[in-house]
């Protein structure tokens, strides 16, 4: 969204002793222009390359694709987007600036770190569950993601026993289900217990 440019950054007449062509389109200056990044641009040419919005009122200078010598302006949103500093909460998407929570290579406002499927908010000491890059509350993790025990069919939330009966089918068991079955059959375990999560 383009806000109205402020008078301090936009003049309405061409300067006399400065570049006479736009640093972006190289056409002669006329009408409103922006003096920025050590040169001048048509107002309409001074756009964020990621979203094509005119950013004269507020921008962040970053090195352009041609290297450090040629800077380009980014809008606030795309500046933080490039830094991966937009809140990953689907209802927010605003820049995170000071303290934030990082999980699954995403960042969240402290008060926006929620399950990706419901508004359950996680505090600093709460446990959450990760699955394929998404964050879930316990209930949604169980519903959508959890590995099921081959014996009882319930979700496996902590430790499990992995059983490789043949190359094509791994089975996962609750340790207690495995122990019960072993005691029933009087068999030794055929796989080590591995911690999970």
Region binding Zn ion by CB under 5 A among candidate stretches 7-15, 59-67, 135-143, 178-186: 135-143
Any contact of residue 118 with Zn ion (CB under 5 A)? yes
Q: Is 117 in the site for Zn ion (CB under 5 A)?
A: yes
Is-contact 22 41, C-beta < 8 A? yes
42 binds Zn ion (CB under 5 A): yes
Q: Considering the complex, what minimum distance in angstroms separates the CB of residue 188 from Zn ion?
A: 19
Assess 137 for contact with Zn ion (CB under 5 A).
yes
Q: How far is the CB of 125 from Zn ion (least distance, A)?
A: 18
Shortest distance (Å) from residue 134 CB to Zn ion: 10
Closer residue to Zn ion in complex, CB, 90/164: 90
Q: Is residue 54 close enough to count as binding Zn ion by CB under 5 A?
A: no
| Residue 50 touching Zn ion (CB under 5 A) | yes
Residue 149 binds Zn ion (CB under 5 A):
yes
User: Does residue 110 contact residue 101 with C-beta atoms inside 8 Å?
Assistant: yes
């Amino acid at each position: 969204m383009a806000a109205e440019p402020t008078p301090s950054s936009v003049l309405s007449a061409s300067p006399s002793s400065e570049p006479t062509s736009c640093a972006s389109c190289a056409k002669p200056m006329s009408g409103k222009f922006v003096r920025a990044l050590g040169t001048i641009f048509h107002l309409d040419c001074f756009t964020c390359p990621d979203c094509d919005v005119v950013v004269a009122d507020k921008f962040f200078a970053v090195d352009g694709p041609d290297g450090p010598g040629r800077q380009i302006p980014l809008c606030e949103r795309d500046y933080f987007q490039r830094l991966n500093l937009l809140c990953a909460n689907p209802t927010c998407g605003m820049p995170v600036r000071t303290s934030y929570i990082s999980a699954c290579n995403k960042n969240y406002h402290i008060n926006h770190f929620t399950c990706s499927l419901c508004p359950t908010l996680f505090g600093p000491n709460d446990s959450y569950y990760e699955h394929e890059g998404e964050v879930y509350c316990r209930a949604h993790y169980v519903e959508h993601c959890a590995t099921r025990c081959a014996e009882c069919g319930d979700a496996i939330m902590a430790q499990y026993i992995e059983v490789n009966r043949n190359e094509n089918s791994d089975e996962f068991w609750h340790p207690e289900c495995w122990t019960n079955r072993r005691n029933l059959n009087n068999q030794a375990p055929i796989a080590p217990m591995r911690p999970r999560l």
